[in-house]
Amino acid sequence: MNKAAAEIIAGLIPWKMERNRWRGLLRYGVRNAVKLHRELRHNHTVPSTYLAVCAIAKDEGPYFKEWIEWHRDMGVEKFYIYDNGSTDRTREVLAPFIESGLVDYTYFPGHRMQIAAYDDCITRHRFDARWIAFIDLDEFIVPVKDADIPAFLGRFEEFPAVEINWLCYGSGGEEKKSPAPVMQRFRRHSLPGHPLNRHVKSIVDPRRVYTMTGCHEASRITGVAADSHGLPITRNFREREPQQDVIRINHYAVRSKEEFVEKQNRGRASGTKRAIEWDYFHKYDLNDVDAD
């Protein structure tokens, strides 16, 4: 079923927390779901990877090294990278990581390809990884209470997905691009309770979800997702207070003004229009708190 039809039918479901589940199922297709359930009953392959990250990016070559090395140090064993038609040095930067086996690279050009990339990743790697995190290149998962991300995830084995809140970082007044690491350059962030920080990204068990229904949430086959405190989620993330005390995602949505202009000009894999949106910059340029 196409996305538009799935949206219409799912929209008739009065329970908000079930809409995404059915939205994903309908878009995945009932026949495909039946085949998947049959396969899940018979395929008992032990995943070769405990934690992987999936991301789609376009012309973000300069940011990959820091982003990969941070998450590798935090316990990520595999990166499924979808290249949305980059014309910069992305392939060259990724080459050593591809050769080492850390990165699985897929060239994936086209417009509005983010969810298609996520669908492909879950389908191709459903039995390869125990957990897959779906994040962007401007997002860094930061464990607060645990030594690394797998240590955090060890408490969530019963859940099909874990939703982790953002903490939005601003430009810090920087005008120009710099080769210095992003996490060193931008040290000021929003107030933790800011409404923008209610947004989440998901780490999912690929055997227990049909697909991602967007860039934030997964369509579950069974069970309910958990928040970062380990509690079953009963309300949409927009209706919940942000949690950053156990784990968080540092979200560098704007970086410097020069980098923001570059980001807007190249467009996004989600299909966002290419015009420079200064309202977006000012909305996310939050510099209220000095980072620890």
User: What H or E segment, with its residue span, contains residue 165?
Assistant: strand 161-168
Distances (CA, A) of 177 to 121, 256, 262: 32, 6, 10
Residue 246: pLDDT band by 50, 70, 90 thresholds?
very high
For residues 277-283, average pLDDT:
91
Q: What is the model's pLDDT at position 5?
A: 63
Least confident of 164-168, 208-212, 261-265: 261-265
Inform me whether the pLDDT recorded for 273 exceeds 60.
no
For tokens 């049909």, the residue is: 210
Q: What is the model's pLDDT at position 127?
A: 96
For tokens 């038609």, the residue is: 85
Q: How many CB atoms lie within 10 A of CB 156?
A: 17
Q: Is 162 left (phi over 0), alpha (psi -120 to 50) or beta?
A: beta
Inform me whether the pLDDT recorded for 30 exceeds 70.
yes
Amino acid at 225: A
Please state, in angstroms and rounded to a whole number, the distance separating the CA atoms of residues 209 and 207.
Answer: 6
Please state, in angstroms and rounded to a whole number, the distance separating the CA atoms of residues 258 and 93.
Answer: 21
Residues 109-136: tens digit of each pLDDT: 999 899 999 999 999 999 999 999 999 9
Q: Whole-prediction pTM value?
A: 0.92
